[in-house]
Chain A
């Protein structure tokens, strides 16, 4: 309160104590701990997920509590940014408080050491020589890259040597570096952007979208990105080895540049980096054959596209095309056996709906399924929950990619004796007659398997709930490439900060400030060097070093004498 009544508050009265308080260790540690704890929350609670998922996961009470605290996009909330801001303030205050003192300490070196202080020091020894000048010279040459200072005090000569005197620069640079990095991060957030765009092959796009809080925001780019081509390369295991997009940048309809990008090799244009992030189906053309289960053997064609809905004109059934995959590489080996990869060929995913039908997700394959070169007929997969993880495989019996088999099936079905008590013989005769009709030029090669397939489909197809069997016939694939666009003006600042940080850490950890004081005591023609050492770091190594020094001085003195 006194602030309001103080007409002339000065820097020293108000800001200085505040800075002192702020730059203190407990505050710094508190902030570091707060930051760490908050960060843990952000990793345990998955960030930026679908709001409906959160609601489902936590229930309404916790959902709204978490939402109010911004925990679903925690790293952008005001309170998290405040912690970072306070950390910056604390770093600044700490530097403000300590740097002048450190610079002072580095500049001023006390040449003498009181006897009392020496008594409490751990590393010391005395050596006695004959010649004063030579002794001093020997000491100096034993520690050649040390900085020496000679002081006369009460008629006695003092030598002070320093090594690694600049080690306090380590402290200064590390803390400055952290400040620089945080400033760089702030610049990135304030003046940069980062978002995604999906560009279908052959199309172009100029808007990115990104998540902010619980919503999605959009931003227009000053240029357009056109995807000329997207391609995937595979390892022979079926795992993708490379995603590649051929991009062209357009400005006002003019082509500015063309380039390929892959993961780890982005494109750079006018301060914006364009990264390969994901891919998906860009609305491929799909042609499906609909095999009518009306007893007449009609086959209709459904020409459609991914992401569109196909309405069957002859029934109230519709198919909502969800996805198309050109490859379906699966491990066919039983669990525990060596892996055997097999491409099941192209497939289309769609949700089928209709009156009285339970909507299900269907995956229809273009090619029949082969087991050791034996044609097992076409297959579809059905997921009753709509989740791709719940797919169950259904073998349809017939190979629908071969229209003759469908004709054979129909012909056989029509010839089957309807009366009770028909014998195996009658059925076989009906099958033979159907074969003669569909294959007039002779029996097909895989007749036994064909027979099996027809028999299996006799069991399966009548149970189909849909009025037709939808089988993928052909496709014209289009991908979209998922790009990430980012502009980051703070990045270079962060790199500079990082370089200073590493440099500072190396000084802090590996440069010890070692000092020696040598009192040169002359007594009856003899000279005694009272050597005292101090190191601010690594006492174990210094102890060894200090012992070596004694030996070194002795040896050097003797060598100099001879």
Chain B
């Protein structure tokens, strides 16, 4: 894999070498352009207008400028290093995926019914609801396939599981983007907002995050057996979100004034990177515990062939925490920054804040146990599982049982 000397990477793959590197920097440039537009664009940042501004002449200039700058930078950056393009190769598939989701969303908009059929009171004609339902079906099917794969380790079932999980991710991601677009179709564009404002929307986001983190680990380390633990967690969430929809929690509603801030678009998704990663860590912990049990009881079990090794599961659990912990920390800090801006104090000991701190302490202790005490294996596997239970309470339990400043997460 001598990527340093060849332009397209030795395998000539779209996702490797110089090509990935250039694309990665171009994407970064576009993101920088978007940020630049929000910060320095003419007319400033207006919640409802920003999306449209992106497609205006000014927006196009910023984006194109960023893209060109990023493209140029990619050639300046030295390419002579060992494993030079590793970062780019790691991130570029995700960014490509985002572009595909955007394209899918563009296609869906063509199927949107006429405006007469869309009203705030009756949102059942919106296309996004159908795509979400497709995502639900895909993810449930994928969960079944992953479990079947444990018992029937035929590669076809495994591939089918992976494929449907990916399809579910694309359906979910593009449905969320479409929901963003649709929120502008209601009430004359009055209530448009990013689709991370209620429990139903963040659930879809959570499914996507869990699947992306897991699938990335799967493709990197060939650990398909782990899917039988990750996807059932997602499937449980799918049932919960179907229930939410059935009680009318899936409607697009206007944002309460406290949420009308660009912080929402950063704080919420970042938090869900944390939650999602902790879910994967929990799944790896559970898989570790089960494999350990099987090894003790029936060391010749055929199932062991599908399971990743104990060492690998231990590593994966840690890797997931290593993704989740910094993201969760940053999300909490940004939440504090938002609180400082909106409520007058960065820390109010509000139940949600306090539970976020508790989650943080739990995983902080996990890391201390791992690195300062050199703990591995069983204890940490349990720790990852219990840590996720605490996380679930922080995510859903606090919203449902404890009131506080985050009460907009409550069911109404």
Residues of A within 8 A of B (CB): 25, 28-29, 32-33, 35-36, 39-40, 42-44, 46-47, 75, 142-145, 185, 188, 194, 235-237, 239-243, 262-264, 266, 273, 275, 277, 338-340, 484-486, 488, 491, 494-495, 498, 501-502, 505-506, 509-510, 538-540, 545, 548-549, 552, 555
Hey, which chain A residues are within 8 Å of B369, CB to CB?
29
Question: Are A540 and B254 in touch, CB under 8 angstroms?
Answer: no
CB pair B83 A242 closer than 8 Å: no
Chain B 295-330 interface 0/1 with A at a Cβ cutoff of 8 Å (1 = within)? 000000000000000001001000100100110011
Contacting pair A43 B256 (CB below 8 A): no
Which residues of the partner chain B approach A42 to less than 8 Å between Cβ atoms?
349, 354
The chain A residue sitting closest to B343, CB to CB, is A275
- Cβ contact within 8 Å between B82 and A552: yes
- Contacts A39-B355, A236-B120, A275-B343 aside, 16 further interface pairs with beta carbons under 8 A come to A28-B368, A32-B361, A36-B357, A39-B349, A145-B82, A188-B346, A239-B254, A239-B256, A264-B341, A266-B344, A338-B119, A338-B121, A488-B345, A488-B346, A491-B340, A540-B221
Report if A185-B368 is in contact (Cβ < 8 Å); known contacts: A36-B361, A263-B342, A540-B315.
no
List CB contacts (< 8 Å) of B335-381 with chain A: 336-337, 340-347, 349, 351, 354-355, 357-358, 361-362, 364-365, 368-369, 372-373
Complex-state Cα separation, A366 to B266, whole angstroms: 45
Give A296 Cβ to nearest chain B Cβ, in Å. 48
Q: What CA separation (Å) do A339 and B355 show in the bound complex?
A: 35
B159 within 8 A of A: no
Q: A42-B354, A236-B187, A340-B121 are in contact. Are A75 and B349 (CB under 8 A)?
A: yes
- Name the A residues within 8 Å of B342 (CB-CB): 263-264, 275
Shortest distance from the beta carbon of B184 to any chain A beta carbon, whole Å = 14
Nearest opposing residue in chain B for A192, CB measure: B345
Which of B95-103, B136-144, B257-265 lies at the interface with chain A?
A: B257-265
Q: CB-CB < 8 A to A35: which residues of B?
A: 361
Pair B326/A185 contact, Cβ less than 8 Å: no
**Smallest distance from the beta carbon of B318 to chain A beta carbons, Å?**
9
A235 to B188 CA separation, bound complex (whole angstroms): 11
B361 touches A25 (CB 8 A): no
Q: A32-B364, A33-B365, A47-B349 are in contact. Are A552 and B2 (CB under 8 A)?
A: yes
Most buried by B among A36, A144, A339, A494: A36
Cβ-neighbour of A263 out of B258, B330, B333, B345 (below 8 A) = B258
Distance in angstroms between the alpha carbons of A555 and B289 in the assembled complex:
43
* A196–B295 alpha-carbon span in the complex (Å): 62
Is the pair A275, B344 in contact by a Cβ cutoff of 8 Å?
yes
- Is B190's CB within 8 Å of the partner chain A? yes
Some 19 contacts from A to B, beta carbons below 8 A apart, are A32-B365, A36-B362, A39-B357, A42-B349, A43-B355, A43-B398, A44-B402, A235-B191, A236-B187, A237-B254, A242-B257, A264-B261, A264-B342, A484-B344, A486-B345, A491-B340, A505-B325, A506-B326, A552-B82
Instruction: Say yes or no: is B80 at the interface (Cβ < 8 Å to chain A).
Output: yes
The CA of A340 and the CA of B365, in the complex, are separated in Å by: 52
Q: How far is the CA of A142 from the CA of B351 in the complex (A)?
A: 53
Contact B83 A545 (CB under 8 A): yes
Nearest-CB distance from A482 to chain B (Å)? 12
Task: Considering the complex, give the chain B residue whose CB is closest to the CB of A509.
Answer: B322
Q: Check A484/B257 contact, CB under 8 A, given A25-B368, A502-B329, A548-B83.
A: no
Nearest opposing residue in chain A for B187, CB measure = A236
B116 beta carbon closer than 8 Å to chain A? no
Name the distance in Å between B316's Cβ and chain A's nearest Cβ.
9
Which residues of the partner chain A approach B368 to less than 8 Å between Cβ atoms? 25, 28-29
Q: How many angstroms between the C-alpha atoms of A539 and B191 in the bound complex?
A: 49
Instruction: Give complex CA distance A235, B252 in Å.
Output: 13
CB distance from B224 to the nearest CB of A (A): 16
User: Which residues of B have CB within 8 Å of A25?
Assistant: 368, 372-373
Chain A residues, CB < 8 A from B337: 495
Distance in angstroms from A61 CB to nearest chain B CB is 25
Indicate whether B57 reaches chain A with its CB closer than 8 angstroms.
Answer: no
Contacts of A502 in B (CB 8 A): 326, 329-330, 333
**A39 and B354 contacting across the interface, CB-CB below 8 Å:** yes
**Nearest B residue (CB) for A76:** B349
Given that A25-B372, A43-B351, A43-B355 are known contacts, is A142 also in contact with B257, CB under 8 Å in the complex?
no
B345 interface neighbour in A29, A44, A194, A506, Cβ under 8 Å: A194
- Chain A residues positioned under 8 Å from B364 (CB to CB): 32
In the A-B complex, the 7 residue pairs with the smallest Cβ-Cβ separation, listed nearest first, are: A486-B344, A43-B351, A338-B121, A263-B257, A235-B254, A498-B333, A75-B349
Output the nearest chain B residue to A163 by Cβ-Cβ distance.
B82
A contact residues around B110 at 8 Å (CB): none
* Contact yes or no, B326 A262, CB < 8 A: no
CA–CA, A257 to B333, complex, Å?
32
B76: interface (CB < 8 Å): no
Tell me whether B341 and A266 are in contact (CB under 8 A). Answer: yes
- Distance (whole angstroms) from the CB of A88 to the closest CB of chain B: 15
Q: In whole angstroms, how far apart are the Cα atoms of A498 and B340 in the complex?
A: 14
Per the 8 Å Cβ criterion, residues 255-289 of B in contact with A are 256-258, 260-261
- CA of A498 to CA of B347 in the docked complex: distance in angstroms? 13
Complex Cα distance, B258 from A493, in Å, reads 25
Report the bound CA distance from A518 to B29 in whole Å: 41
Shortest distance between the CB of B71 and any CB in chain A (Å): 24
Question: Bound complex: CA of A292 vs CA of B81, how far in Å?
Answer: 94
B42 within 8 A of A: no
With contacts A39-B357, A235-B191 known, is A339 near B82, CB below 8 A? no
Residues of chain B within 8 A of A142, CB atoms compared: 82
Contact A144 B358 (CB under 8 A): no
Q: Smallest Cβ distance from A498 to chain B, in angstroms?
A: 4
Least CB distance, B106 to chain A, in whole angstroms: 28
B337 → chain A closest CB, angstroms = 7
Distance of A263 Cα from B343 Cα, bound (Å): 8
Partner of B82 from A47, A143, A275 at Cβ < 8 Å: A143
Contacts of B253 in A (CB 8 A): 237, 239
Residues of A within 8 A of B362 (CB): 36
Q: How far is the CA of A555 from the CA of B368 in the complex (A)?
A: 41
Distance between B86 CB and nearest chain A CB, rounded to angstroms: 9
- Residues from chain B with a CB closer than 8 A to the CB of A485 are 344
B357:A241 contact, CB within 8 angstroms: no
Contact B257 A555 (CB under 8 A): no
A506 shortest CB reach to chain B, Å: 6
* A-side contacts of B333, CB under 8 Å: 498, 501-502
Q: How far is it, in angstroms, between the C-alpha of A242 and the C-alpha of B362 when the chains are bound?
A: 38
Q: Which residues on A sit within 8 Å (CB–CB) of B336?
A: 494, 498
B343→A235 contact, CB < 8 A: no
Contacts of A47 in B (CB 8 A): 349
Nearest chain A CB to B55 CB, angstrom units: 24
Decide: A144 and B365 in contact? CB cutoff 8 A.
no
CB distance from A141 to the nearest CB of B (A): 9
Query: A351 → chain B, closest Cβ, in Å?
Result: 27
Residue among A39, A42, A143, A262 with the highest chain B CB neighbour number at 10 A: A39
Contacts of A486 in B (CB 8 A): 344-345
Output the least CB separation between A559 and chain B (Å): 9
Tell whether, in the assembled complex, residue B322 and residue A555 are in contact, meaning their CB atoms are under 8 Å apart.
no
Q: Identify the closest chain B residue to A265 (Cβ).
A: B341
By a CB distance below 8 angstroms, the chain A residues around B403 are: 46
Minimal beta-carbon separation of B213 from chain A (angstroms): 14
Q: How far is the CA of A44 from the CA of B351 in the complex (A)?
A: 8
Instruction: Provide the residues of chain A in CB contact with B82, threshold 8 Å.
Output: 142-145, 549, 552
Chain A residues with CB under 8 A of B329: 501-502, 505
Question: In the complex the two chains form, what is the Cα distance from A188 to B333 in whole Å?
Answer: 16
Chain A, residue nearest B316 (CB): A540
The distance from the CB of A266 to the nearest CB of chain B, in whole angstroms, is: 7
Instruction: Write out the residue numbers on chain A whose beta carbons fall within 8 Å of the beta carbon of B319.
Output: 538
Interface string of B23-35 (1 = CB under 8 A from A): 0000000000000
1/0 contact trace for B398-412 toward A, CB 8 Å? 100011100000000
Min Cβ gap A473→B in Å is 32
Which residues of the other chain, A, contact B347 by a CB distance below 8 angstroms?
185
A194/B221 in contact, CB under 8 A? no
